[in-house]
Amino acid sequence: MVYKDNAYRWNRNNYSRNRRFFDIWSFVLSLMTGFWVNKKSWSYPGGVTEEKRKARRIEQAVWIRNTLLELGPTFIKVGQLFSTRADLFPSEYVDELVKLQDKVPAFSYEQTKNIIEQELGKTIPELFQNFEPIPIAAASLGQVHKATLHSGEIVAVKVQRPGLKKLFEIDLGILKGITRYFQSHPEWGRGRDWLGIYDECCRILWEEIEYLNEGRNADTFRRNFRAHDWVKVPRVYWRYTSPRVLTLEYVPGIKISHYEALEAAGLDRKLLARQGAESYLRQLLNHGFFHADPHPGNLAVSPDGSLIFYDFGMMGQIRTDVREQLMKTLFGIAQKDAGQVVASLVELGAIAPTDDMGPVRRSIQYMLDHFMDQPFENQSVSAISEDLYEIAYDQPFRFPATFTFVMRAFSTLEGVGKGLDPEFSFMEVAKPFAMEIMTNGNGSQGNTFLNELGRQAAQVSTTALGLPRRLEDTLDKLERGDIRMRVRSIETERLLRRQSNIGLATIYALVLSALTLSATLLLINRYLWLAGIAAIAAAALGVVLMRTIIQLDRYDKTF
């Protein structure tokens, strides 16, 4: 379906910068007002309860998703990126942002024609034997047309939305001002690096609209799976590709979430579920280069049962040092060592170090004790990620985009696998990979005693060799003021407490003398009631004074 150009305000030719500024700030101020009202108990008829708060958050999350869709491409992508930041928002908002799909109006064929001819330097008839004017798919950043080359090959031509870079520049300029406001906000800015999040969003957005980069990603992804014929990746036609036009091999397939169609085609749904999980585990653990957005729209199945991957604009990469820290995290989880897990997560940047890491360590220990009692294959990725996000929200956890992309992809693939095969277990597929990693990391499965002895020796040697570095790091932190030292002197504290007690006893004695003198004078002048009150007060203070003197005497005998 081709929508009219004015279906959304941002898609109009005469849409001004001032109007854009007004629309964006109206959304932000409405959102902040909603957050403020939700915290007030008087806004809940009949009294506030946790169920009412949750229902209000869900209602507001739906409104946020719809408003982001109306605001257009920039905010659709920002919303999708924020769906990976469970450390910033409650789970109700994250769950709703995950549903944010690119259901936006297509642009006209005339605009498509102008962009292709401008980018490739030739007319449509010179480039293609046939070009379908109606797009087969439309998204926030572009749309796809089916075409046929003069050589007879059928291709899919992805064309970037007109005026997208200009819209990005306007929106990101406005968002920078909003980010600075949030950073300086007394509540929202505390403990959060909004400027860093803004920079990360800018980087991902600019990379995703660079179609040459997407083409290189597709080539890399295809090379990684060249030894596996059950994975298909569309080939890039570089002669027909530019920064705003990407021409790929047309590889049709059945959407992997269309379970009835797969069944009708005679495909093995259980095998597809396992292959989907295995393909992603290979991307993550073997290649270090993975698809960061494997939702069902980007994954299909060919008639021969091969998996087809689409859309390589958002990819993730795991560096070697990150893999090493992930290995340490894995070993810490296997040994239920919360200290090692915390240390590795700090190195990964997943936890912001604080003066007191005790609460964080206890939270992780609770999670380890809760989950590791279950068999590995019976654990659920979705349940683990939900608990992680619940712990992370409003805590010093700061999950990097790579980590949250991986967890979200695992959860998505687990959901697709359950749809294909109700008995599917993502952890069961992952178990051989985990065993291989553990075996490579801990040596062969030989003599248990020797393995344990070797492990203990390796741990002692690692600790000994790492001691100088740890001392140097500690001294550096002391110089920077990152560590606070508390020095106690028992003898000094004892003397100070003794002096404090002596001072109190002196004050009590002075007040007792004053009360005694007052009672005597009042009695001489026949003010009997007032004299009695002063005498009672003096007697009570005398008892307190005697107890203080006795405590001083005992304290001196003890020390």
Q: What is the DSSP string of 27-92?
A: HHHHHHHHHHHHT-GGGSTT---HHHHHHHHHHHHHHHHHHHHHH-HHHHHHHHHHTT-TTTS-HH
Residue 64 neighbours by CB distance under 10 Å: 22
Give the integer Cα–Cα distance in Å for 112 and 143: 9
Block residue for tokens 């597809």: 272
Measure Cα distances from 220 to 411, 496, 517 in Å: 24, 71, 97
Block residue for tokens 């507001």: 60
Give the integer Cα–Cα distance in Å for 322 and 328: 10
Task: Phi first, then psi: give them for residue 190, nearest 5 degrees.
Answer: -70, 120
- More reliable by pLDDT, 541 or 428: 541
Give the integer Cα–Cα distance in Å for 322 and 147: 42
Percent of the chain past pLDDT 90, that is, above it, reads: 18
Give the integer Cα–Cα distance in Å for 202 and 342: 29
- Give the mean pLDDT of the chain: 77
Give the pLDDT of residue 378: 47
Amino acid at 130: N
Give the pLDDT of residue 151: 93
Give the pLDDT of residue 524: 87
Comparing CA positions, the residue from 269, 258, 251 lying closest to residue 310 is 251
Interval 112-154: pLDDT, tens: 999 999 999 999 999 999 999 999 988 888 899 999 999 999 9
Give the pLDDT of residue 458: 53
Question: How is 375-440 classified by DSSP, letter by letter?
Answer: -GGG--HHHHHHHHHHHHTTSSB---HHHHHHHHHHHHHHHHHHHH-TT--HHHHHHHHHHHHHHH
Give the integer Cα–Cα distance in Å for 184 and 535: 60
Determine the average pLDDT of the residues in 50-69.
87
- Is pLDDT above 50 for 450? no
Lowest mean pLDDT: which of 117-131, 151-165, 273-287, 483-497?
Answer: 483-497
pTM: 0.64
Measure Cα distances from 425 to 95, 274, 388, 545 in Å: 22, 9, 19, 74
Give the pLDDT of residue 301: 92
Give the pLDDT of residue 405: 65
- Is pLDDT above 60 for 389? no
Give the pLDDT of residue 453: 47
Give the pLDDT of residue 464: 57
Give the pLDDT of residue 443: 43
- Is pLDDT above 60 for 341? yes
Question: How is 56-74 classified by DSSP, letter by letter?
Answer: HHHHHHHHHHHHHHHH-HH
Q: Which helix (H) or strand (E) holds 505?
A: helix 490-524
Interval 282-306: pLDDT, tens: 887 778 888 877 777 788 999 999 9
Calculate the CA dihedral of residues 272, 288, 324, 331 and round it to 10 degrees.
0
Give the pLDDT of residue 466: 56
Lowest mean pLDDT: which of 165-169, 462-466, 530-534?
Answer: 462-466
Q: Residue 222 in contact with residue 287, Cβ under 8 Å?
A: no
Task: Phi first, then psi: give them for residue 146, nearest 5 degrees.
Answer: -85, 135
Report angle CA 423, 425, 428 to the nearest 5 degrees. 130
Question: How is 360-391 classified by DSSP, letter by letter?
Answer: HHHHHHHHHHHHTTS-GGG--HHHHHHHHHHH
- More reliable by pLDDT, 452 or 220: 220
Q: Residue 299 in contact with residue 309, Cβ under 8 Å?
A: yes
Measure Cα distances from 18 to 14, 32, 68, 171, 334 in Å: 11, 21, 18, 11, 56
Q: How confident is the model at residue 429 (pLDDT cuts 50, 70, 90)?
A: confident
- Is pLDDT above 80 for 332? no
- Is pLDDT above 80 for 447? no
Calculate the CA dihedral of residues 249, 250, 253, 258 and round it to 10 degrees.
110
Q: What residues have CB less than 8 Å from 464, skipping those under 6 apart?
A: none
Give the pLDDT of residue 391: 53
Lowest mean pLDDT: which of 4-13, 443-452, 537-546?
Answer: 443-452
Q: What is the DSSP letter of 335?
A: T
Give the pLDDT of residue 52: 87
Give the pLDDT of residue 446: 42
Interval 85-109: pLDDT, tens: 665 677 778 778 777 765 677 888 9
* Active-site residue, from 102, 293, 337, 373: 293
Give the pLDDT of residue 324: 65
Is 293 among the residues known to form the active site?
A: yes
Determine the average pLDDT of the residues in 308-323.
79
- Is pLDDT above 80 for 251? yes
- More reliable by pLDDT, 63 or 7: 63
Determine the average pLDDT of the residues in 317-340.
69
Give the pLDDT of residue 5: 44
- More reliable by pLDDT, 157 or 436: 157
Block residue for tokens 């309860």: 49
- Is pLDDT above 70 for 7? no
- Is pLDDT above 70 for 390? no
Q: Residue 120 in contact with residue 113, Cβ under 8 Å?
A: no
Give the pLDDT of residue 93: 80
